[in-house]
Structure 1
């Protein structure tokens, strides 16, 4: 869907801020996060990237990603330009509870997104690479939390993340996270977790758990309140979490 004239104007303003030769204020960072349009160039449009809605990212940062202890290490896989990581960093509970992050790592393979991300979230360590290759990068001991709004569905990938060769890319990201972190929080298509009845897991989800040992927990509700905030698409998504402390070996590729 073509950008409106107003969307184009705001995107160009956002890019002027990205290119500015000075640090950005918090207001300016949030303007870039709110108005950068991945579909503004052909290459980004082909990626099919849809960034996490601001209010959904804020909700997850406050209630699901959490802050259990000071100095936590968090990694964002397929970080885009950093919306989910940004909301995690500025979560007011961290300051209130005196639990600042110890490290925030953002992994994104699109170099343009990384360039923008470094401007809006310079506090993070940005890695321009394939998320499925991250376990080979020797990033230190386990992260406390892996977070991701990964690409969805049967898209091309560089490798399998586990011996179960799932078609859905989101499963490969979750399995990769299991090798990196103690727990994970992910935005995924609802069909990757449960049927219309939330108590019924889909066949793909059942198979994923059986083959990997990774149990995908159901969120407290589907994310339908945010369906109209994804830009040109209205995906049916949910949030799933997983405790990896007892299943990490199951996700190691054969």
Structure 2
């Protein structure tokens, strides 16, 4: 467990007080997301779990798009929270929002997540040991998964490398039409964040991933993730937001078209 400063400990204690309430306001939910310190009671480095900074999660929601969504390795729901509220304020507030499903292995995180985003369906499970197909088809899969050679309990359908994030993207490609993910810059095919200009730089690990899976990871709207580098807790990773169109994978059947109005609302 990481040592907290007095300010961090005080804010974490306040977040714990708020979580005792039956229902939280929007501002209270945001306070919990920003101040509930996962490292206070969990050794996150072992699991490779580090929660997404708020600003990065807000920008991420732009690329995540719309439609029925699954958040894999959801933590306490920062990504799902900002995806949900971006849709809420972007549409008529009385209009039904597409379903969001959050899957997280840590029961303590799930307990917090259900208070932060009760609008989502929360499932406490290991993504590698759960029948994801039983949940039906999703328009988009999102994740800020553990990075690198983090221990896992299962394999992907095609990928055989070492990176947890690549295994998870491979899993997601079987249940969603599109995906948006936060991954280490070294696992992307490009560098954009923290450099002078966008440049293609696929690593050997990325080339292995795309050759085995047929998945191509592209840049989204162009978020420089480096501006949030110092806002992570306990680490300062170089990451990129990547998007994938799983419908373009070899052998994938095209998704049945929806009516134009439904399609527009999902986007």
Same fold (TM over 0.5): yes
Q: How is 1:99-178 mapped onto 2 (pairs within 5 angstroms)?
A: 100-136=96-132, 138-140=134-136, 142-178=137-173
Q: Which blocks of at least 5 consecutive residues in structure 1 are unaligned?
A: none
CA contact (8 A) 2:158 2:170 kept: no
Query: Does the residue aligned with 2:91 lie in a helix, a strand or coil?
Result: helix
**1:4 counterpart residue number:** 5
CA distance 1:130–1:121, shift in 2 (3 Å): same
**1:187 counterpart residue number:** 182
Return the offset for 1:17: 1.4
1:224 corresponds, among 203, 223, 226, to 226
Provide the rounded CA distance (Å) in 1 between the counterparts of 2:70 and 2:14.
Answer: 29
Provide the rounded CA distance (Å) in 1 between the counterparts of 2:250 and 2:109.
Answer: 30
Return the offset for 1:223: 1.1
Return the offset for 1:94: 2.9
Of residues 86-95 and 118-127 in structure 1, the stretch that sits farther from structure 2 once superposed is 86-95
2:70 corresponds, among 46, 71, 75, to 75
**2:27 counterpart residue number:** 27
Query: Does the residue aligned with 1:240 lie in a helix, a strand or coil?
Result: strand
Structure 2 residue 60 is matched with structure 1 residue 64: no
1:110-154 superposed Cα distances (whole Å, 9 cap, x missing partner): 0000000001100100000112234446012x1001000000000
CA contact (8 A) 1:190 1:222 kept: no
Provide the rounded CA distance (Å) in 1 between the counterparts of 2:218 and 2:75.
Answer: 24
1:63-104 superposed Cα distances (whole Å, 9 cap, x missing partner): 21123xxxx210000100001100000005532698752201
Provide the rounded CA distance (Å) in 2 between the counterparts of 1:202 and 1:138.
Answer: 34
1:189-230 superposed Cα distances (whole Å, 9 cap, x missing partner): 000013657312111111111111111113425411110110
Provide the rounded CA distance (Å) in 1 between the counterparts of 2:95 and 2:202.
Answer: 35
Provide the rounded CA distance (Å) in 2 between the counterparts of 1:136 and 1:226.
Answer: 32
Return the offset for 1:184: 0.2
CA contact (8 A) 1:38 1:45 kept: no
The total of aligned residue pairs comes to 243
1:220-243 superposed Cα distances (whole Å, 9 cap, x missing partner): 254111101102211000011000
CA contact (8 A) 1:179 1:248 kept: no
CA contact (8 A) 2:159 2:167 kept: no
CA distance 1:135–1:183, shift in 2 (3 Å): farther
Q: CA RMSD in A?
A: 2.1
Q: Which blocks of at least 5 consecutive residues in structure 2 are unaligned?
A: 192-197, 253-267
Query: Does the residue aligned with 1:138 lie in a helix, a strand or coil?
Result: helix
